[in-house]
């Protein structure tokens, strides 16, 4: 995939007061993580670890949108150390807020979270890489190889930016390294083997890929690019209701626990706004796309004749 251009960040939104529900959930999340580290010798502990890591990633998303404290520094202090290890918080913050420029959604260059490729680049790609990206374009593939593919491309683009002198990207990684050392040190004195912990980090990314797999689609209108998945089960909780994704994009400062009620109150409006891009549940998503691609890897609305 070709390198992605940087985009202007959205302003950091701050709540008027402490959001105790989100802060309490963060405490529960870290408590589960600590329990998994202390017990750490069985399948149940490993599942608890994955649960906690997915929840932590979703809480990180809340933080970068300004929750739970009025103070940005206080909020970011909760998540700047990432127990999931692989993604620096500052890099996730910057790329995700750039992603919220809705006019650029799915753009292979200007949307940092796009999984589409410029058709010109696709045509010139080695066959092996095209096979890998096609596998990655099914839900099964996204969960199996998606974390590895995404990490490689993410680190490749960041390395290019660092080599070109981007100090913001370099700072994001430098701030991240001490946290990695701290987490690995804590794991080394706990009961869970490091290999099992790393496998849990990968599994957590795999679960998160379920959410991001079809959050956005290629559509001529920007408003038709963002999905609604009407799910209220375990996955919806782990994703902190970001399955109501068009609601989040339209109201990014609204906290996670208010999204379902907001959607219910204005369901027809949101479905009209996103051109009816909707799934009834994650069960429906699995049934339709576990082994079948949602759409092609090369951006279907871009010409390959350039």
Residue 11 is predicted with a pLDDT of 41
pLDDT tens per residue, range 21-69 = 999 999 999 999 999 998 888 999 999 999 999 999 999 999 999 999 9
Residue 306 is predicted with a pLDDT of 58
How far is C-alpha 64 from the chain's CA centre?
12
**Exposed/middle/buried for residue 68 (C-beta within 10 Å: 0-12, 13-18, 19+):** buried
Range from 32-46, 129-143, 232-246 carrying the lowest mean pLDDT: 32-46
pLDDT tens per residue, range 143-177 = 999 999 999 999 999 999 999 999 999 999 999 99
Q: pTM, whole model, 2 decimals?
A: 0.93
**Exposed/middle/buried for residue 189 (C-beta within 10 Å: 0-12, 13-18, 19+):** exposed
Looking at the DSSP bridge assignments, the partners of residue 298 are: 117
Mean pLDDT to the nearest integer, 243-261: 97
Residue 250 is predicted with a pLDDT of 96
* Token representation of residue 168: 């913001």
Looking at the chain, the whole-number percentage of residues with pLDDT higher than 70 is 94
Q: Are the C-beta atoms of residues 277 and 219 closer than 8 Å to each other? A: yes
Pairwise CA distance, residues 120 & 124, whole Å: 7
Which strand (E) or helix (H) includes residue 229?
Answer: strand 228-229
Q: Where are the alpha helices (DSSP H) in 13-42?
A: 20-39
In terms of Cα–Cα distance, which of 305, 287, 296 is closest to 120? Answer: 305
Q: Are the C-beta atoms of residues 65 and 252 closer than 8 Å to each other? A: yes
Residue 6 is predicted with a pLDDT of 39
Residue 98 is predicted with a pLDDT of 94
Pairwise CA distance, residues 72 & 49, whole Å: 27
Mean pLDDT to the nearest integer, 92-100: 96
Rg (CA), the chain: 19
Residue 69 CB neighbour total at 10 angstroms: 20
Pairwise CA distance, residues 248 & 206, whole Å: 22
pLDDT tens per residue, range 205-230 = 999 999 999 999 999 999 999 999 99
pLDDT > 80? residue 113 = yes
pLDDT > 80? residue 9 = no
How high is the mean pLDDT of the chain? Answer: 93
Judged by DSSP in three states, 167 sits in helix
Residue 305 is predicted with a pLDDT of 64
């Amino acid at each position: 995939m070709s390198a992605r251009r940087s985009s202007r960040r959205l302003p950091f939104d701050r709540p008027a007061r402490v959001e105790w529900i989100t802060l309490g959930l963060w405490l529960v999340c870290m408590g589960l993580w600590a329990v998994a580290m202390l017990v750490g010798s069985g399948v149940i502990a490993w599942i608890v670890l994955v649960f906690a890591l997915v929840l932590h990633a979703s809480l990180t998303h809340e933080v970068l949108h300004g929750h739970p404290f009025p103070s940005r520094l206080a909020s970011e202090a909760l998540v700047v150390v990432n127990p999931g290890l692989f993604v620096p918080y500052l890099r996730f913050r910057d790329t995700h807020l750039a992603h919220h420029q809705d006019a650029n959604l799915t753009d292979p260059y200007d949307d940092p979270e796009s999984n589409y490729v410029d058709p010109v680049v696709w045509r010139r790609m080695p066959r092996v890489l095209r096979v890998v990206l096609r596998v990655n374009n099914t839900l099964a593939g996204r969960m199996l190889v998606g974390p590895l593919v995404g990490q490689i491309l993410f680190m490749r683009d960041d390395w290019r930016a660092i080599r070109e002198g981007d100090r913001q990207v370099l700072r994001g990684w430098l701030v991240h390294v001490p946290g990695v050392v701290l987490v690995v040190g804590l794991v080394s004195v706990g009961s869970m083997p490091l290999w099992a912990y790393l496998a849990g980090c990968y599994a957590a990314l795999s679960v998160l890929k379920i959410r991001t797999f079809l959050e956005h689609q290629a559509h001529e209108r920007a408003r038709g690019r963002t999905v609604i998945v009407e799910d209220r089960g375990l996955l919806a909780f782990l994703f902190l209701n970001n399955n109501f994704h068009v609601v989040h994009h339209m109201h990014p400062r609204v906290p996670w626990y208010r999204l379902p009620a907001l959607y219910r109150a204005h369901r027809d409006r949101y479905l009209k706004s996103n051109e009816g891009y909707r799934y009834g549940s994650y069960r429906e998503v699995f049934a339709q796309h576990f082994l079948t691609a949602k759409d092609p890897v090369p951006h279907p609305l871009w010409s390959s004749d350039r």
